[in-house]
């Protein structure tokens, strides 16, 4: 192992507060209602406006909605409200809140979802809100019609959009069929590339790697004793994951370096994570010769040489050869040759540290109860 990096970032929950103007590109959209609140409770006013829509031209004025303020239950809610408290606000007010973000620099798909209500109660009012932000504050804007907001300017046809991925459908029936599958996945925005064609270019990944390591950690959930502190402004830690063991497998096609699965169970003598790092360091020492092998290429046979000279395209990228850029590909550990002409990677061992890393796959599962056995196959 060459090095290990640990990055620690302080988590600051996003909070949404006072009124800010709409960006220039969307300020004239009639499907948006930007209430001019002077407090930090913009989400509350959006919910009221969704339940009690105001028809005239003064719908953005806060005075139109103050008469309904007592209908909102915000007991235990911190204002400005962090996104983590929205589910609690939903339950207390019988609403389903979906949060949409806006990227002004994205010309193709500027809107994308970041939070969709987990409530399945169809009797609850659906409230779609647009989250805007500046360097100083963030603000919620009511979306009166999500379909109108997402409608493309190049077509006048009405579309029914999925609130989880923003994909549009020509009929409500097709949207319902799609939702059955889409609900199984996390919220995601579909973003298409600027180019109309996608092309695979990571040809290096098509070359077989000499070795990689598959690892799996086991952990249990340990409750954290309450200290009696109650602070709505901070995250309360209630549980922590304690690693209690791990297993790993060195996967390589070379018999000299194959070994059985290594299993370690916590016996109280060493920190599990620290033990894993030590094991990886020892594996690197054993695999050093394989990683940095420089075995010369065995001379080509006449048949291989004829195949090499007659080739007109690279066997990896399938592109015609550039002048004087044809090289012979071979295994640096055994010296075995493939006799395939290659112009995508030179036949030399790079001294870049990135080329000397041992790939590691850490198996994980949302349910923390998934087991997988690595095979003896190799990965490119």
3-state secondary structure 138-192: EEEEEECCHHHHHCCCCCCCCCEECCCCCCEECCHHHHHHHHHHHCCCCCCCCCC
Q: Cα dihedral sign for 191, 158, 139, 98?
A: negative
* Residue for token pair 């590339």: 193
In order along the chain (380 residues), what is the average pLDDT of each group of 10 residues? 64 60 87 91 94 86 93 91 92 95 85 91 92 82 92 75 90 91 85 73 82 91 73 68 92 88 90 92 87 82 85 82 74 66 41 48 52 36
Q: Which residues contact 378 (CB under 8 A, 6 or more apart)?
A: 208, 209, 212, 251, 252, 253
**CA 315 vs CA 62, 71, 201, 204, 312: distances in Å:** 67, 69, 13, 12, 9
Domain ranges across the chain: 15-182, 203-293+354-363, 302-348
Residue 213: exposure state from Cβ atoms within 10 A (0-12, 13-18, ≥19): buried
Report residue 71 as tokens.
């209908």
Residue 238: the pLDDT is 83
Residue 370: the pLDDT is 44
Residue 334: the pLDDT is 77
Report residue 308 as tokens.
């090499």
Residue 67: the pLDDT is 94
**CA 57 vs CA 66, 127, 325: distances in Å:** 17, 21, 70
DSSP 241: E
The distance from CA 373 to its chain's CA centroid, rounded to whole angstroms, is 25
Residue 354: the pLDDT is 39
pTM (two decimals): 0.53
**HSE (side-chain half, CA atoms, 13 Å) at 128:** 20
**CA 352 vs CA 112, 356, 357: distances in Å:** 38, 7, 10
Residue 341: the pLDDT is 54
Residue 374: the pLDDT is 37
Tell me the β-bridge partners of 251.
Answer: 212
């Amino acid at each position: 192992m060459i090095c290990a990096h640990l990055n620690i970032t302080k988590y600051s929950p996003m909070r949404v507060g006072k009124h800010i103007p709409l960006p220039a590109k969307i300020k004239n959209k009639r499907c948006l209602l930007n209430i001019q609140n002077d407090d930090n409770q913009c989400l509350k006013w959006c919910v009221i406006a969704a339940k009690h829509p105001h028809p005239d031209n003064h719908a953005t004025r806060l005075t139109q909605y103050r008469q309904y303020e007592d209908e909102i239950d915000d007991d235990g809610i911190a204002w400005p409200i962090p996104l983590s408290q929205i589910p609690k606000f939903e339950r207390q007010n019988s609403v389903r809140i979906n949060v949409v973000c806006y990227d002004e620099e994205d010309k193709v798909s500027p809107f994308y979802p970041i939070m969709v209500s987990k409530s399945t109660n169809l009797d609850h009012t659906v409230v779609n809100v647009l989250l805007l932000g500046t360097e100083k504050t963030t603000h919620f804007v009511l979306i009166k019609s999500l379909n109108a907001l997402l409608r493309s300017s190049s077509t006048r046809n009405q579309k029914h959009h999925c609130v989880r991925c923003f994909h549009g459908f020509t009929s409500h029936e097709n949207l319902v069929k799609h939702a059955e599958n889409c609900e199984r996945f996390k919220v995601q925005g579909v973003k298409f590339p600027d180019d109309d064609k996608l092309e695979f270019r990571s040809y290096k990944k098509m070359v077989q790697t000499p070795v990689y390591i598959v690892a799996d950690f086991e952990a249990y959930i340990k409750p954290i004793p309450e200290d009696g502190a109650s602070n709505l402004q901070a995250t309360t830690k209630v549980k922590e994951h304690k690693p209690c063991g791990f297993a790993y497998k060195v996967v390589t096609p070379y018999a000299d370096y194959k070994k059985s699965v290594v299993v370690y169970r916590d016996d109280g003598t060493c920190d599990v994570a620290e033990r894993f790092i030590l094991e990886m360091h020892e594996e690197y020492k054993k695999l050093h010769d394989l990683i940095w092998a420089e075995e010369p290429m065995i001379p080509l046979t006449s048949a291989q040489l004829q195949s090499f000279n007659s080739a007109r395209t690279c066997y990896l990228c399938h592109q015609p050869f550039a002048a004087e850029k044809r090289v012979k590909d071979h295994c640096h550990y055994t010296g075995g040759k493939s006799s395939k002409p290659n112009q995508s990677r030179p036949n030399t061992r790079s001294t870049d540290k990135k080329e000397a890393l041992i790939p590691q796959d850490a198996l994980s599962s949302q349910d923390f109860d998934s087991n997988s056995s690595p095979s003896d196959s190799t990965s490119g």
